[in-house]
């Protein structure tokens, strides 16, 4: 790995049952899904300290429904203007994805208005694509709005980042989403990431040629240990991990912490680097706007 020769000396730390050699400054990773507008500056500092080389922020639900298209206009301005500047203060490149979240897709008329203003922002230098779109409760209105987003992404040749529903709705919702994407001939699966996969959905996503994201939440979605189980079963191709840190219970350092757990379980440095750095860089680099200061 380039630059590894200049790393800080190896430190022996006690970790779990055994002793583990840790090279703190050797780890590098991408946070491919972090809702940084909800986080404080200490989170940026911690992420950069842990080796974060870029953060990508999909548009998200605010925890309450925004009441008008103007609320979304301001949010998109925040994601494309203010947040990259805030991240830059910590030396961290910040990229974003735009959409109206499936949690706010019941009002189809409002969703159509919001989708109508997205093109104004798509050519901005840090916008990677359309996301996180998808389904929440698998309703008809959510499906309509999903199809509208997919159409916009196809017309503008955008990458797509997809949110899949929680718990018992996840399997059905993931099937519905894959059907929509596979049913549109303009969409290439290698340009879509299906996020929040779990043990029962990752296979169908990878088999269909899409990328899959594992979201490391302390309580729901995927724990670090389960994510590593999935990697050990399915391999690391077209797979990444993210923290999806937002305004709820979530851990901005979930990716590097899971990387430490991978080391403990015997994964070598190259395999870890591939999963947490090279894979997201490979996917994101399909958008020419994704550039890192030091690769
Ligand atoms: Zn998210």
Å from CA of 13 to ligand 1 middle: 33
Å from CA of 210 to ligand 1 middle: 18
Q: What is the mean pLDDT of residues 126-136?
A: 97
**What is the per-residue DSSP string for 17-63?**
TEEEEE-GGG--EEE-S--GGGS-HHHHHHHHHTTEEEEEEE----S
54, 292 Cβ separation under 8 angstroms: yes
Report the alpha-carbon distance of residue 251 to residue 216 in Å, rounded. 8
Å from CA of 215 to ligand 1 middle: 9
Report the alpha-carbon distance of residue 214 to residue 228 in Å, rounded. 10
137-182 pLDDT, tens digit per residue, is 999 999 999 999 999 999 999 999 999 998 778 999 999 999 999 9
Q: What is the mean pLDDT of residues 196-216?
A: 96
Å from CA of 208 to ligand 1 middle: 22
Q: How far is CA 153 from the centre of its chain?
A: 17
70-128 pLDDT, tens digit per residue, is 999 999 999 999 999 999 999 999 999 999 999 999 999 999 999 999 999 999 999 99
Å from CA of 292 to ligand 1 middle: 22
- Predicted confidence (pLDDT) at residue 247 exceeds the cutoff of 80: yes
Å from CA of 107 to ligand 1 middle: 20
DSSP state of 217: -
Å from CA of 124 to ligand 1 middle: 21
Å from CA of 5 to ligand 1 middle: 36
- Predicted confidence (pLDDT) at residue 26 exceeds the cutoff of 90: no
Å from CA of 17 to ligand 1 middle: 34
What is the value of pTM for the model shown?
0.90
The CB density around residue 207, as the number of other CB atoms within 10 Å, is 10
Q: How confident is the model at residue 17 (pLDDT cuts 50, 70, 90)?
A: very low
φ, ψ at 222 (rounded to 5°): -120, 130
The kind and range of the H/E element at 162 are strand 159-163
Q: What is the mean pLDDT of the chain?
A: 90
Report the alpha-carbon distance of residue 47 to residue 36 in Å, rounded. 11
- Predicted confidence (pLDDT) at residue 44 exceeds the cutoff of 90: yes
């Amino acid at each position: 790995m380039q630059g590894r020769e200049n790393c800080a000396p190896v430190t022996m730390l006690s970790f779990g049952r055994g002793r583990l050699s840790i090279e703190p400054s050797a780890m590098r990773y991408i946070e491919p899904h972090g809702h940084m507008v909800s986080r404080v500056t200490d989170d940026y500092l911690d992420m950069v300290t842990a080796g974060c080389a870029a953060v990508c922020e999909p548009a998200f639900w605010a925890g309450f429904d925004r009441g008008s298209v103007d609320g979304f206009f301001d949010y998109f301005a925040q994601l494309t203007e203010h947040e990259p500047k805030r991240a830059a203060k910590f030396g961290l490149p910040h990229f974003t994805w735009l959409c109206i979240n499936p949690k706010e897709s019941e009002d189809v008329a409002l969703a159509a208005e919001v989708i109508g203003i997205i093109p104004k922002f798509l050519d901005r230098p840090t916008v990677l694509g359309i996301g996180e779109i998808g389904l929440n409760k698998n309703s008809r209105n959510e499906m309509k709005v999903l199809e509208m987003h997919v159409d916009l992404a196809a017309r503008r040749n955008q990458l797509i980042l997809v949110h899949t529903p929680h718990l018992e709705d996840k399997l059905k919702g993931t099937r519905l989403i894959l059907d929509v994407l596979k049913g549109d001939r303009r969409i290439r699966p290698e340009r879509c990431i299906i996020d929040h996969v779990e043990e029962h959905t990752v296979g169908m996503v990878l088999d269909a040629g899409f990328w899959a994201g594992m979201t490391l939440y302390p309580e729901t979605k995927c724990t670090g240990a389960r994510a590593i189980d999935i990697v050990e079963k399915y391999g690391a191709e077209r797979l990444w991990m993210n923290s999806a840190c937002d305004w709820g219970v979530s851990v901005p350092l979930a990716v590097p912490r899971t990387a430490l757990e991978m080391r403990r379980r015997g994964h070598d440095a190259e395999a870890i680097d591939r999963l947490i750095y090279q894979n997201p860089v490979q996917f994101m680099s399909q958008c020419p706007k994704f550039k890192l200061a030091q690769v």
